Amino acid sequence: MKTSAITLAALPALAAAYPGIMGLHNRQAAEEMFQKMQARDAAPAAAPEANPQLLGGLVDTVSDVVEDTVTSLVNDVQGLLGTVAAVVDQDNLRPEPGFEFQEPGPGDSRGPCPGLNLLANYGYLPRDGHVNFGQVVDAAARGFNMGVDLSTLLSVFAVLTDGDITTQSWYLGGDPHADISPNREDYYLGCGDNHHLSSRMFEQNVKYAAADGSKEFTLDVMGSQYKANSEHSQAQNPYLWYFPFPSIVSLGAFAFYPNFFSNGTYGAGGVANYESISSIIGAQLNEETGHYEYVPERWPENWYRRSTPYGAVDALTDGFLTIYPRNPVPMPIAQLGTDNFNVQTVLCDVYSGINSIVPLALADDYESLTGEITWALGKLADVGITADLLGCPDNSQSDYVYPNSEQPGGPQNPPPVDEETWQGDNVYGKTYFCEKPNEPMCRHTC
């Protein structure tokens, strides 16, 4: 198995493949883009952030909030308890008979994605965590009602970046990741550990939920979480890995909290309550320390999955039009900052970005590279994602470009991560990252 450490270390070099567009890497361009999107989409909840002068004030508020005492965290959690879904459908009660929770044992592979870890903990996926494409598409639909186009997109990404193409399989512990995650530290700042739940991040997330009128982990609350995490990553992580394809995994993950982890259907009576979210992502409050231990992901008692599928267009819409504008990260999406920025053009960029991911991760030579791309495009076509249907330009598959592999962050010159400290599979029952890492934090249990 290819370790995630090696693969992920290689990927920041993608920047080199987009020299022109990476010139966007400045705040002004991002602000301009953001203002245009604000003007067009006029989302009232996020409106104050359109004024860059306000940004500083908001940031201060966040750090004050995060520094609150243990008592106030415990009080916040108590204030969050007790919200239940108005409408649920008995057919959607999970787990179904025959699927029992069982903690992962030694050698069972678990990774950064709480949803997939959970499905393996119930036997919806192989308990050893060695999963294949078809299993993931089926299990994600059955357990969470994930649309087949979305699970296909995510699985293509997993196989291309960290899997085995012949068997279309990968290990959950070698799962692909993107920086700026809801509750995992960046690969670089976590000193290679982007797998374990970060206590300080979830404490921050709870504060946002407690401060919100809903007392839930709504899309808006997750937008605040994204904003804080994104600001931190952009300020402290010189190897921030953010490109069209992986950004779907990052932005999607924030949208997945309410949309997949709610009790009942979010937006139709379902609630993204603390009971559901904390249990599903494996966050257990230690009332003595005020920090969160990372425990195996499990559904709370009496939990109902959403009753309608949530697919690729839903995820891209929530991710790119609601979460991302809260703190845009410059990345090679040609339409950023133009009136042409919408879900379709983003999907085209993702689509044409596929063969820029592949060579870094898998292909040894040009022939096998062509094979990987053909495979990936075929999988996407099976679920209706094609250049034609998307209305992408004809030549939307960009050429194989991969220069400057030796520049800092490139595959020949990876970030200074100590691979001894982090090997792959999750270790539960501990607390990780009580403090914000401002540089790689290698001793991170607390």
What part of residues 9-38 is at the interface with ligand NAG (CB under 6 A)?
none
For ligand NAG, which residue of 9, 88, 323, 390 counts as binding (CB under 6 A)?
88
Q: Mark 386-423 as b/e (b = at least 16 C-beta within 10 Å).
A: ebeebebeeebbbeeebebeeeebbbeebbebeeeebe
Report, in Å, the least distance between residue 80 CB and ligand NAG: 11
Which is closer to ligand NAG, CB of 274 or CB of 433?
274
The 3-state DSSP class for residue 35 equals: helix
276 binds ligand NAG (CB under 6 A): yes
Q: Where are the beta strands (DSSP E) in 222-314?
A: 283-286, 291-294, 303-304
Which residues, 6 or more positions from 398, have their beta carbon under 8 angstroms from its beta carbon? 352, 353, 355, 356
- Reading the block at residue 442, the tokens are 């290698």
Report, in Å, the least distance between residue 261 CB and ligand NAG: 10
Do β-strands 130-132 and 169-171 pair in parallel, antiparallel, or remain unpaired? antiparallel
Q: Pattern 247-266, binding to ligand NAG, x per CB under 6 A?
A: ----------------xx--
278 binds ligand NAG (CB under 6 A): no
Dist. CA 143–CA 115, nearest whole Å: 9
For ligand NAG, which residue of 275, 314, 318, 349 counts as binding (CB under 6 A)?
275
What part of residues 166-225 is at the interface with ligand NAG (CB under 6 A)?
none
118 binds ligand NAG (CB under 6 A): no
Which is closer to ligand NAG, CB of 152 or CB of 265?
265
CA distances from 157 to 125, 175, 364, 376, 392 (A): 18, 10, 18, 9, 20
Which is closer to ligand NAG, CB of 276 or CB of 355?
276
303 binds ligand NAG (CB under 6 A): yes
For ligand NAG, which residue of 123, 126, 267, 300 counts as binding (CB under 6 A)?
300
Which is closer to ligand NAG, CB of 85 or CB of 331?
85
273 binds ligand NAG (CB under 6 A): yes
Do β-strands 130-132 and 291-294 pair in parallel, antiparallel, or remain unpaired? unpaired
Dist. CA 434–CA 446, nearest whole Å: 6
Angle at 204 between CA 199 and CA 208, to 5 degrees: 145
309 binds ligand NAG (CB under 6 A): no
Dist. CA 172–CA 162, nearest whole Å: 10
Q: Interface with ligand NAG by CB under 6 A: which range of 204-212, 224-232, 297-305, 328-336? A: 297-305
274 binds ligand NAG (CB under 6 A): no
Report, in Å, the least distance between residue 428 CB and ligand NAG: 21
297 binds ligand NAG (CB under 6 A): no
For ligand NAG, which residue of 75, 78, 302, 445 counts as binding (CB under 6 A)?
302
The 3-state DSSP class for residue 145 equals: coil
Determine the size of the site formed for ligand NAG (CB under 6 A): 12
Place of tokens 């201060």: 60
Q: Interface with ligand NAG by CB under 6 A: which range of 80-88, 167-175, 253-261, 371-379? A: 80-88
Dist. CA 178–CA 281, nearest whole Å: 17
For ligand NAG, which residue of 37, 85, 150, 343 counts as binding (CB under 6 A)?
85
Provide the binding-site residues for ligand NAG, judged by CB under 6 A: 84-85, 88, 263-264, 273, 275-276, 300, 302-304
